[in-house]
Structure 1
Amino acid sequence: MIKEKLALTIRIITIPPIVVSLLIVGLYYLEIINDFKEAIFLFLFLGLIPLLAYPISYLKPFKGKGREGQRKIAFLFSLLSYSSGILYAFISKSSLNIKIIYLSYFISIINLVFFNAVLKVRASGHISSISGPLVSLLYFMGLKSLIPILFLYTLVFWSSLYLNRHTKKEMILATIIVIVSFGLSVLLL
């Protein structure tokens, strides 16, 4: 019972919009993002708009579709929002760091949708939303961030397994997608 509550709490406090919001605050505090306006737009496109998928999933047209329905809405909101974010970054001539973040999220969501919707191979959106900020922190902060990153990743991985939300394969695939997407973003920019 205690393990289940702990696992559920970990899953709730690590929903994608919360984790990316913490990343943005951290990167702003560390002056990796040094423009407040850019931090606000990152929060809007990567945090707030995707967060709206959760309350919308309870509205009448979507209600009763269960976790799979909620998952589809979350993917749709993320796809639309990350697409808008990458457009904003290039139109507004954002800094390289901002473009790397937006592009990595955009490439990740394209790959997640491709695997989940086209190939019908489940890849965890939740663990990818943890992996993305963690890979970003590792890139921007270096190895000094490795231990906290591995600790958080392990907690979320465990909670997802414990609650039977995802398999190891689904989470490893999502993690690989994020790492490759981030690497591509750095190489392309």
Structure 2
Amino acid sequence: MNYEITKKERIARIVSILTVVPLVALFTITLLYINFKEDFQGFFWYFYSILFLTILPISAYPLKYILPSYRNSGRGGERKLAFILAILGYVLGSFFVFILKGSLIVKKIFSVYFTSGIILTFANKSLKFKASGHACGVSGPITLLYHFLGIQFYFYI
């Protein structure tokens, strides 16, 4: 019986790690870049997307140990900081992709993440609903992949 709990906890931990939103973003952006390289209009927009949707949000984990207000805040503080940096990445990335006249595919990518982030923030803060960041961070990219790749994207998973 005790072994089952440990096994379930391990599976839950693996699923949690694999569905960390920045890693899903990295997978999504890379898959789209591989299939639509010319639509990205160069490597810059691929790197740009990785910077704002993966690197900035995932930087919360090392920053937790540097920022005094988060250092001793435990897992809750770590999650809060990750959420803040993800939303910051979505907002700044969206703003600059339109200002810098990014490619259409990159605008669509950022629009999906921006919209998902706004809806999640609204649900959690205004409605006091505990919406899952992992679920939101997976469902948006799956919709995006389906939009661009159709049913064939299932073969990449």
2:35: which partner in 1?
30
Stretches of structure 2 that go unaligned for 5 or more consecutive residues are: 1-5
What is the distance in 1 between the residues matched to 2:78 and 2:128? 17
Aligned-pair identity in percent equals: 38
Compute the displacement of 1:103 (Å). 1.2
Decide whether the 8 Å contact of 1:105 with 1:132 is kept in 2.
yes
Compute the displacement of 1:2 (Å). 2.3
What is the distance in 2 between the residues matched to 1:29 and 1:146? 15
What is the distance in 1 between the residues matched to 2:129 and 2:12? 25
Compute the displacement of 1:3 (Å). 2.9
1:48 and 2:73 matched: no
| Aligned pair partner of 1:118 in 120, 126, 150 | 126
1:66 and 2:74 matched: yes
1:129: which partner in 2?
137
How many residues are aligned here? 149
What is the distance in 2 between the residues matched to 1:88 and 1:143? 31
Q: What letter corresponds to residue 19 of structure 1 in structure 2?
A: V
SS in 1 for 2:101: coil
Decide whether the 8 Å contact of 1:75 with 1:113 is kept in 2.
no
Give the TM-score normalised by the residue count of structure 2.
Answer: 0.85
What is the distance in 1 between the residues matched to 2:49 and 2:139? 17
Q: What letter corresponds to residue 93 of structure 1 in structure 2?
A: K
Give the TM-score normalised by the residue count of structure 1.
Answer: 0.72
Q: What is the alpha-carbon root mean square deviation over aligned residues?
A: 1.8
Decide whether the 8 Å contact of 1:86 with 1:99 is kept in 2.
yes
2:87: which partner in 1?
79
Compute the displacement of 1:146 (Å). 4.2
What is the distance in 1 between the residues matched to 2:72 and 2:25? 28
Decide whether the 8 Å contact of 1:24 with 1:39 is kept in 2.
yes
Stretches of structure 1 that go unaligned for 5 or more consecutive residues are: 150-189
Matches within 5 A, 1:8-27: 8-27=13-32
Compute the displacement of 1:90 (Å). 0.6
Matches within 5 A, 1:136-147: 136-146=144-154
Query: What stretches of structure 1 move > 3 A for 4+ residues in a row?
Result: 146-149
What is the distance in 2 between the residues matched to 1:31 and 1:97? 9
Q: What letter corresponds to residue 80 of structure 2 in structure 1?
A: K
What is the distance in 2 between the residues matched to 1:79 and 1:49? 10
